[in-house]
Structure 1
Amino acid sequence: MSNPDTYHAFMLDYATGNLSASMSLAATLHRLMTEEGDEIARTWEAVRDNIKPAGEDHLEALFRMEDIATEIINTDYDDVPWRKGLSGAHFCKLPETSGSLMRLQPGDRVFAHGHSALEAMIVLDGRLEDGRDTFDAGDLVLAAPGERHRPAAAGNKACTCFVARADTPFWRFT
């Protein structure tokens, strides 16, 4: 997991429907792949429901995200039409979500970089290290604006991630 404040702010925005489609999909993947993600999402949904219950549109969107996330989780990543990016990683843009799949082979490393908006990565398969920590399948890796990281495959297996970037502001605890 990333910075706890950023993580909880992200999951709060997920529970309230305040994330873009790609970021919501990242949260849904995390939720479906880990007990921690599901527990935190349920906690923030309970808070939301005590303030203002979710409308039908929001609940419908969550169910749709679960279908897309399940499809991504069950993908055979060896059959994906990968394209090599400038960073050295292989990518596959997902048309419905505005997110991408990223694959790093053992020994592959993306150059150190930062982002102007929040980036969310979910490790789908393998292990990822980013210069801050090492992450396993289901882990949500958040890179807040200004944070630098250097994603790399950890170990002797390819690492596949779902990558999303924010196009809207998110809550910050200050």
Structure 2
Amino acid sequence: MIAALKYLHLASMLCWVAAMIALPLLLSFYGNTWRTNHGGEKRQARYAEFRLITHYGYIAFATPAAVISIAAGTALIFAADVYDLWFAAKLALVSGMALVHAWIGHFVVMSAENRGIDKMPSPLIALGLGIPLMAGVLWLVLAKPELAGLADWLPQFMLQPRGQE
């Protein structure tokens, strides 16, 4: 059971991370090329292609991968009884990834409504925010560092058991 959950979590996480890298690149580079053609019919066809790729890439690929990854990871918490401090740090970084994911979705919507992303900041900012978060999650999972020094910074009530076991 744990092995199947780990496989599902890892596979969906890889898909989610790939989409979080690909979508800002598509929005940044491909999103500007449809406006450079001078023929109206050809330009409209390129815009429709851009819109379908980004919309379905976000709605049908990235978001389901994120939901499956988070659901399988949550199931792993209880199945493997992982309650270490490094894991809390990992959850904080995954929360940041979810915020970047939502911001990428905002870019996708705005690129459709404005017929381009020229009025927004560069989508590459989302890439610059997302990659350190992804690298941090990977490091925490592989290294599983002892973060005992971090416990000194936490409030005392967070370090005591609540007697609900």
TM-score, length of structure 1 as denominator length: 0.30
Identify the structure with the greater helix proportion. Answer: 2
Larger radius of gyration: 2
